[in-house]
Amino acid sequence: MARWARPALSAFRPWGPAGWRSLYTEVTDVLGEGHQGPSPGRTDMVATSLWGVKKAPCAVELAVLNSGITGGRRPISFSASASSIFGSGGNSKKEKLLLQDIAELIQARACQRVVVMVGAGISTPSGIPDFRSPRSGLYSNLQQYDLPYPEAIFELTFFSHNPKPFFTLAKELYLRSYRPNVIHYFLRLLHDKGLLLRLYTQNIDGLERVSGIPASKLVEAHGSFASATCTVCRRPFPGKDIWADVTVDRIPRCPVCTGVVKPDIVFFGEALPQRFLMHVVDFPMADLLLILGTSLEVEPFASLSEAVQSSVPRLLINRDLVGPFAWRPRSRDVVQLGDVVHGVERLVELLGWTEELQDLIQQETEKLNRRDR
């Protein structure tokens, strides 16, 4: 039996002002002029490393980041109805919120800057196994490659020595053409109604895009197959360029320097995508945080759940009670435990969106049928 040794993770890549400037342009595009964005001077504190680090260390850094970078800390001005529900303005009445209350807040548009965080639990209903789980069937398909441990597939050193297992996994994902499920389409509906501020996903299956949510509303924290980069000359390529090779088990090569072209999936120790830094603007602005299908174990993603203001309701729909919901609950937390699909369907029902969601799913399914024909 192989010993599953988790690789040591180190890279905390500092961010220079240049990185911020380009991100800042994007942020101001989204928010409009006059928004006080993050200060470029503080960006060297940003920790953007990845995957598999369990819990805490980044919590502190993110707290520093959120108090530091947001600087002036503009208070969020809630609508009158939201203020009364949130109990701001000295109202000390702290009633426990229920799922019904969250639905009412959304219906009343007292919450209209919803930030969503999702993980593998929203993709398993689409038939996609959790990549990081050594028990998932995916890894057993890769035994022929003698992976020293499952996570090696997402390690740069292993990849540079043998990129085959990773591309086998990529091919599997591509050929099976997985489809979004009711959870993805619920998020799409949230966007269609103008309520989605941003969707932060840890998934690399791209189903959020397939569901029709525009890339501008997404932060794919662990990267995606939508783009690729030459590992030698760093030349960027559209993600679709690799599939002709990958589907016939050929390693995609750069036409300029013949280096291996790697999809922009974030490997262990690699920096998170630049867009991840949007969290410093998004989370303080959020008026509702939805967390769906994630164990909140991977940093720095996990600590984001604490980056919304303390008066902001947080709704966790997940199989288990996880992360800060377990060890540092807040008075405005709502927890819907059990099957994630059922939890989301329950919320949709309380919102009165069931029929609308069914129509959307039907319409999008027909579109995908035409695509796959």
Active site residues: 222
- The minimum distance between CB 12 and Zn ion, in angstroms, equals 27
The single residue among 5, 11, 257, 321 that binds Zn ion, judged by CB under 5 A, is 257
Find all residues with CB under 8 Å of 250, minimum gap 6, and list them: none
Kindly tell me which of 228 and 272 has the beta carbon lying closer to Zn ion.
Answer: 228
CA atoms within 13 A on the CB side of 242: 29
Task: Check residue 259 for interaction with Zn ion (CB under 5 A).
Answer: yes
- Name the DSSP letter for residue 111: -
Q: Are 138 and 172 a contacting pair, CB within 8 Å?
A: yes
Number of residues that bind Zn ion (CB under 5 A): 8
Amino acid identity of residue 216, one-letter, is S
CA-to-CA distance for 156 and 217, rounded, in angstroms? Answer: 29
88 three-class SS? coil
- The minimum distance between CB 230 and Zn ion, in angstroms, equals 3
Kindly tell me which of 56 and 257 has the beta carbon lying closer to Zn ion.
Answer: 257
Q: Give me the torsion for CA of 272, 164, 52, 280, rounded to 10°.
A: 10
- The minimum distance between CB 228 and Zn ion, in angstroms, equals 11
- The minimum distance between CB 225 and Zn ion, in angstroms, equals 18
Please report the DSSP string for 336-352 in residue order. EES-HHHHHHHHHHHHT
Give the residue among 161, 168, 138, 144 at the shortest CA–CA distance from 250. Answer: 168
**What would the two tokens of residue 47 be?**
């920790």
Q: Give me the torsion for CA of 79, 80, 86, 89, rounded to 10°.
A: 110
- The minimum distance between CB 239 and Zn ion, in angstroms, equals 16
- The minimum distance between CB 139 and Zn ion, in angstroms, equals 30
The single residue among 170, 189, 254, 304 that binds Zn ion, judged by CB under 5 A, is 254
Any binding-site annotation on 257? Answer: yes
Q: Are 319 and 342 a contacting pair, CB within 8 Å?
A: no
Instruction: Considering only residues 194 through 253, tell me which ones interact with Zn ion, judged by CB under 5 A.
Output: 230, 232-233, 235
Kindly tell me which of 157 and 258 has the beta carbon lying closer to Zn ion.
Answer: 258
Give the residue among 103, 108, 138 at the shortest CA–CA distance from 123. Answer: 138
Kindly tell me which of 11 and 233 has the beta carbon lying closer to Zn ion.
Answer: 233
Kindly tell me which of 231 and 274 has the beta carbon lying closer to Zn ion.
Answer: 231
Output b/e per residue, 111-137; b: 16+ Cβ within 10 A.
bbbbbbbbbbbbbbbbebebbbeeebe
292 three-class SS? strand
Any binding-site annotation on 233? Answer: yes
Task: Check residue 59 for interaction with Zn ion (CB under 5 A).
Answer: no
Q: Are 7 and 268 a contacting pair, CB within 8 Å?
A: yes
81 three-class SS? helix
Residues annotated within the binding site for Zn(2+) are 230, 233, 254, 257
Residues annotated within the binding site are 230, 233, 254, 257
Residues at the contact surface with Zn ion, assessed by CB under 5 A: 230, 232-233, 235, 254, 256-257, 259
